[in-house]
Amino acid sequence: MAEQVRTFVELNGFHFPVVFDADGRMSEAFSVYGIPWSVVIDAQGVVRAIRPGPARDLEDLLGLVQSVVGK
């Protein structure tokens, strides 16, 4: 699964960190339980957007990120 995530990130040219939480530490740190969740965290570590489920496609992911950055 981690390799699929890595491939998706590379193919779409994302330039932001994407975490594959194999050991559950990120889930614990941000109180996100259940898989998958889409979470946008700013540079200061503040959760800015969270919703259950994966991004359906690139347009969906960009919409979530843009809702946070206001573009």
| Cβ atoms of 48 and 20 closer than 8 Å | no
The answer, yes or no, to whether residue 65 has pLDDT greater than 60, is: yes
Question: How far, in Å, CA of 2 to CA of 22, rounded?
Answer: 8
pTM: 0.51
Residue-wise pLDDT for 8-55, tens only, equals 888 888 887 887 788 888 888 878 777 677 888 888 888 888 888 888
Cβ count near 55 (within 10 Å): 17
